[in-house]
Amino acid sequence: MKHCSLILFLGFMTLQTPTSLWAEDMNMDMSGDMRSGSEQPMEAAKRVKGVIRQIDRAKGTMTISHEPIPSLGWSAMTMDFSVKNPAWLGSLKSGQSIHFDFVRQRGAYVITAVK
């Protein structure tokens, strides 16, 4: 998670000047997420493969070791994801390999589908 955030932050800083030229148009479609002005639109879910390391059913989150995601500039890492429907956690267990889709929502990463 740490280096994801760092990369996003650096990406944001780098893009800040050119982005500001069209930020007003972008904000119309961006459901309030200030940082979505970077290269990937919020709506495009990313599909990735990973291994569940830990499940927190109380919080509705999972810790997952995911494979690299070149389109986000992420290398493989272990990080926390929220789950859109916490009921899914009931049929998952740590150690399990999954394919999942996720989006970034208000600074958190939310899994929208699990295969």
Residue 6 or 34: the one with the smaller Cβ distance to Cu ion is 6
Residue 55 or 79: the one with the smaller Cβ distance to Cu ion is 79
**Residue 35 three-state SS:** helix
When asked if residue 4 is in the footprint of Cu ion (CB under 5 A), the reply is yes
d(CA 78, CA 67) in angstroms, rounded, equals: 9
When asked if residue 79 is in the footprint of Cu ion (CB under 5 A), the reply is yes
Pick the binder of Cu ion from 26, 77, 92, 103 (CB under 5 A).
77
The contact set with Cu ion (CB under 5 A) reads 4, 74, 77, 79
